[in-house]
Structures are given as structure tokens and as C-alpha cells.
């Protein structure tokens, strides 16, 4: 499976940080092959490099999925330990960062499943309502400001993140994986053990619900 998560730390050139000091001293840059070889050989600098170079990105992914800092750090730690154990099986068919990202996503999804003790809220109340003849009940208003300008405002980005957090987990997870992490429909389907069609339906509903939540912040005047 080709895995195309966003921001794959492109390149095979991985910049090493100055503070990685374990012996043998690593080169200033290293490609996947060198890093993987170091990991497979059990070299300390390689483990540290894997954490320092990719850790922030992995932590961001975990935060988006599990929604709080403590769980996100637990997820990242657990994922890295899984990766260290499984490095012998890494074949190099994907980039190292992509492989690691997949482990973080799966670990985060397991965490979400384990903590889901009560039925989640229905998303229905956030979806558009239609008249019997198929028309929207609501009369929509244009947005005051284009999205690209809204995104320049820190407050808007905070409002959007808050709205995403309010989505039921089932839908939020798909939205994060598809629209933010940029996994393909097939990749999300495999990660969540659901059909690609179900991924599409959940993504669409999540976006619709997010629109409903954002509209009071961005649209002109009363909308209902």
C-alpha cells in the first residue's frame, strides 16, 4: 500500500540536530537507508535521531487524533516503542517517516477505541435539514471573508480547531486523517477497518457538521 500522509519529511535527507551526541557521532545529514541501518544495528544515535527528527510531527498527529496532550504523548511514546521493536521488519518500501506515521495513527486509533466508554453524540443535529420537496430548510448566507484570509487570523484557526474537537470521534477521526493528515480514502479505510464508502460518507458528514459549527463565526447575518 502506498501511503501518502501529509508532510512526509520529504526527502530522504534528514537533518540531524546538533544535540545528538551519542557515539558514534552521526553525520550532519543522513538518509533513510543510513538511519534504518543504524536502528537495525541498535545504535543509540539512530534511535535518538528518529525521535528528534520526526517526534514533533508525530506528536502533532497524535494531538489531532486523541485531542489532549497527555494522551498524545502516551500515544507517541507507545508508537515509538512499537517502531523500535518492529524496525527489523521495515523493508523500505515506504519512507521511514511514512512508516512511523502509520504506526502513530494506528496507536492513536487504538487509544480512541479503548477510551470510548459511552455512546458518542449523534452528528444528525449538525447536518443540513431539508423540506419534504428536497430544498434546504435553511437560507444560507455568504461568508464575510474568504477562507484564505480567515486562515491568517490566529483566532479563526483556534475556532476551527475547537469546532473539529466538537465533532463526534467517529467523524472527527476521518476528517483529521483525510483532510489534515491527507491519507487516501483507502488508507483511512484500512486504518479504521471500514469500507472506502463509509470513509467517504463520514468525511462528507464531518465537513457538513464542521460547516454548521463554523457558520456562526464566519457567515453574514441570521441563517435560519
Partner 1 sequence: MLRGVQLDEKACLAGAKRECGAGIKEGDIPVTCRELADFIADYLADTLPSDTRAHFEHHMGVCTNCVTYLDGYKATVELGRHAFDNPDAPVPDTVPEELVKAILAARR
Binding residues (CB under 8 A) for partner 1: these are: 44, 47-48, 51-52, 55-60, 64, 73, 76-77, 80-81, 84, 128, 130-131, 133-136, 139-143, 146-148, 150-152, 154, 156-157, 160-161, 164, 175, 179-180, 200, 203-204, 207-208, 210-211, 214-215, 218-220
Least distance CB 99 / partner 1 (angstroms): 17
**Residue 103 and residue 79 in contact, taking contact as beta carbons nearer than 8 Å:** yes
Q: How far is the CB of 224 from partner 1 (least distance, A)?
A: 12
Of 3 and 80, nearer to partner 1 (C-beta) is 80
Name residues whose C-beta falls within 8 Å of residue 220's C-beta, 6 or more positions apart in sequence: 141, 142, 143, 144
| Shortest distance, position 117 Cβ to partner 1, whole Å | 27
Q: Which is nearer to partner 1, 82 or 106 (CB)?
A: 82
Strand partners, 30: 14
Distance CA 177, CA 103 (A): 13
Q: Is 104:61 a contact under the CB 8 Å cutoff?
A: yes
> What's the closest the beta carbon of residue 116 comes to partner 1, in angstroms?
22
Q: Which is nearer to partner 1, 119 or 134 (CB)?
A: 134
For residue 55, give the nearest of 81, 29, 36, 33 by alpha carbon. Answer: 81
Nearer to partner 1, 37 or 93 (CB): 37
* H-run or E-run covering 29: strand 29-30
Residue 180 near residue 160, CB atoms below 8 Å: no
Q: How far apart, in Å, are the Cα atoms of 52 and each of 49, 56, 192?
A: 5, 7, 28
Nearest distance in Å: CB 198, partner 1: 13
* Of the candidates 95, 83, 60, the residue with the CA atom closest to the CA atom of residue 176: 60
**In this structure, what C-alpha cell is assigned to residue 202?**
463520514
**Minimum distance of partner 1 from residue 135's CB (angstroms):** 5
Taking the least distance from each CB to partner 1, the nearer of 12 and 196 is: 196
CB of 93 or CB of 130, closer to partner 1: 130
Cell of 140: 444560507
Q: Any idea what the Cα angle at residue 134 is, between residues 131 and 139, rounded to 5°? A: 60
Amino acid at each position: 500500500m502506498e501511503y501518502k500522509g501529509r508532510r512526509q519529511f520529504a526527502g530522504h535527507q534528514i537533518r540531524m540536530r546538533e544535540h545528538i551526541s551519542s557515539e558514534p557521532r552521526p553525520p550532519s545529514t543522513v538518509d533513510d537507508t543510513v538511519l534504518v541501518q543504524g536502528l537495525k544495528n541498535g545504535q543509540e544515535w539512530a534511535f535518538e535521531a528518529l525521535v528528534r527528527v520526526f517526534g514533533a510531527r508525530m506528536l502533532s498527529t497524535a494531538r489531532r487524533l486523541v485531542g489532549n496532550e497527555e494522551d498524545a504523548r502516551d500515544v507517541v511514546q507507545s508508537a515509538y516503542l512499537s517502531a523500535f521493536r518492529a524496525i527489523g521488519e521495515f523493508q523500505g518500501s515506504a519512507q521511514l517517516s511514512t512508516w512511523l506515521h502509520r504506526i502513530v495513527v494506528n496507536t492513536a486509533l487504538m487509544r480512541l477505541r479503548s477510551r470510548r466508554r459511552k455512546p458518542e453524540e449523534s452528528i444528525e443535529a449538525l447536518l443540513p435539514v431539508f423540506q419534504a420537496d428536497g430544498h434546504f430548510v435553511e437560507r444560507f448566507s455568504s461568508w464575510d471573508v474568504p477562507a484564505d484570509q480567515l486562515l491568517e487570523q490566529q483566532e479563526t484557526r483556534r475556532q476551527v480547531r475547537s469546532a473539529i474537537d466538537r465533532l463526534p470521534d467517529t467523524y472527527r477521526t476521518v476528517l483529521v486523517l483525510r483532510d489534515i493528515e491527507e491519507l487516501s480514502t483507502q488508507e483511512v479505510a484500512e486504518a479504521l477497518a471500514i469500507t472506502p464508502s463509509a470513509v467517504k460518507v463520514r468525511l462528507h458528514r464531518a465537513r457538513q457538521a464542521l460547516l454548521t459549527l463554523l457558520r456562526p463565526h464566519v457567515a453574514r447575518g441570521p441563517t435560519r
